[in-house]
Structure 1
C-alpha cells in the first residue's frame, strides 16, 4: 500500500512508541491523527478512552472526517497491572485483572472494529486493498514472567484475535497485524531503576541493547507497505526470551 499522502490514526500516540511512530509516519508523508487520553501537540488530536466503544468510534470518525480516508490505524495503548496474584504480598485482584483486559484486549477490539467500519468505505487500490489495522501486543504474551498474569492474558488476547479478524476483514481488502515488542527505550522504561530493570536489559541477545522507538515505527511502516503481511504476530525483540523472573521483585 502506498502510504505517501494517506491518512493514519495512532491510538496512544501522545507518548512512547506511539509518539515516535506518529513522527515517523509524518516524515514518510502520511497525514496522522492521534487518539489518546493525554494531549498531543504533534498532530490532530481527539481524546478518548480506548476501553469505551462509543468514545473510540466517535474519535475515529472525527479524525477520519478531518484527515481523509483512513489507510492505516495503529493501537499502542496499554496498561500493566503487574504483581503477585495470591498470598500475603498479592496486589492483583479481579478488578485489576478486568481493567487490564478492558484497556489492552477490549480496547484493541474496539479500535479495530471502528477502524474497519471506516476503511470499508474507502476506494480500493489496484490490488483491492482498503487499509491495514495494526495492534501492539508484547512478547510477555508468549513468555510471561512471574507477576504478569493479567498483562500476559490481555496481550495474549490481542494475539489470538489477529487471525480471525484478518480472515473476517479480508473480503473488504483490510489487513490485520500485530507487533509484539520486547524491551524498548521509551521514556517510562528509560527512567525505571532497580534489579528487575537491570535484569530485563541484560536479556536482549543482539543488538545487545533495548530497541529504539524508531525501530518499532519502521516495522509499522513496513507492515503498511507490504501486502503479504496479514493475520500474523511479529516479534520485534532482538532474540529476547523472557525468563521466569523472581517473586521477590513484587514483595514490598
Structure 2
C-alpha cells in the first residue's frame, strides 16, 4: 500500500492510539478521516492533521454507514482503516455484590468486537470499489486486539473476550476479503501510555512498567502508529495478529 495520497479512516482518533496513528499516517502523506464518539475530539485531531472529523458510534450500524457514505461522497473511497475505538470495563464474574453486570459485559463486546466488525463490513465494501494497485491491492484494515486476548487477567472477562474475538476475526476476514484485494491484520498492544493508563497513580504505572522485560516502560502510542504504518506498506503482512508488548506476559492479577 502506498500511503501517500491514500484516504485513511482512523477510529478512536480523539486520543491515545488512534490520535497517534492518525498523526503517523498523516506524516506519511495520508488524508486523515478521524472517527470518534467524541465528535469535538475527532474534529480537533483532524484539524491538526489537515483532515476531516466525524462523530461516530462504531457500534451503531446507521452511524457507521452514514459516516462512511459521507466520506466517500466528500473525500473519496478509503484504502486504509485503523480501528482503535474501544472501551474497558473491569468486574469479577462473581463479585461481592453478586453476579457481574450483564449489560456492562454486553456493552464492551458491542463496542470492541461488534464495533470493529461494523467498521470492517462497511469500509471493506467501499474499498472493494477502489481501483486495484498493480498487485491487486485495494485496501488494508488494521484492528486493535490486546495481549489480554491471550492472557486476560481476573476481572477482565469482558475486555479479554472482546479482544479475543478481534484476534479470532482476523484470519477468516483476511481469507474472505482477499478476493477484493483487502488485507486484514490485528495489532495486540501491551501496556501503553494511553489516557486510560496515564490516569492511574504514578506508583501503579511504575509497577506495570517494571513487569515489562524490555524496555521497562509503558509503550508510546506513536510506536503503535509506526507498526500500523509498516503494516500498510508491507503487503505480505496479512491475516495475523501481531503483539507489540516488550515481551510482557500478564499475570492472573
Same fold (TM over 0.5): yes
Q: State the Cα distance separating 1:172 from its structure 2 match.
A: 0.5
- SS of residue paired to 1:111: helix
- For 1:21, the equivalent position in structure 2 comes to 21
- For 2:112, the equivalent position in structure 1 comes to 104
- For 1:162, the equivalent position in structure 2 comes to 170
Matched length: 245
- For 2:148, the equivalent position in structure 1 comes to 140
Q: State the Cα distance separating 1:196 from its structure 2 match.
A: 5.0
1:233 aligns with 2:236: no
After TM superposition, the structure 1 stretch with the greater mean CA deviation from structure 2, 65-74 or 99-108, is 65-74
- For 2:45, the equivalent position in structure 1 comes to 42
Distance (whole Å) between structure 2 residues aligned to residue 30 and residue 165 of structure 1: 24
- For 1:205, the equivalent position in structure 2 comes to 213
Distance (whole Å) between structure 2 residues aligned to residue 216 and residue 91 of structure 1: 36
Distance (whole Å) between structure 2 residues aligned to residue 31 and residue 130 of structure 1: 16
- For 2:90, the equivalent position in structure 1 comes to 82
| C-alpha contact 2:35 2:53 (8 A) present in aligned 1 | yes
- For 2:131, the equivalent position in structure 1 comes to 123
| C-alpha contact 2:71 2:77 (8 A) present in aligned 1 | no
Q: In the superposition, relative to structure 1, how do residues 89 and 42 fare at CA in structure 2: closer, same or farther (>3 Å)? A: same
- For 2:193, the equivalent position in structure 1 comes to 185
Q: In the superposition, relative to structure 1, how do residues 81 and 92 fare at CA in structure 2: closer, same or farther (>3 Å)? A: farther
The runs of 5 or more residues in structure 1 that have no matched partner are 246-252
Q: State the Cα distance separating 1:37 from its structure 2 match.
A: 1.1
Distance (whole Å) between structure 2 residues aligned to residue 112 and residue 91 of structure 1: 33
Aligned CA-pair RMSD: 1.4
1:3 aligns with 2:3: yes
Q: Deviations over 1:91-138 (max 9, x none)?
A: 732111111100001001000001101000000000000000111011
Distance (whole Å) between structure 2 residues aligned to residue 150 and residue 239 of structure 1: 23
TM-score, structure 1 as length reference: 0.93
Q: In the superposition, relative to structure 1, how do residues 230 and 105 fare at CA in structure 2: closer, same or farther (>3 Å)? A: same
- For 2:49, the equivalent position in structure 1 comes to none
1:152 aligns with 2:160: yes
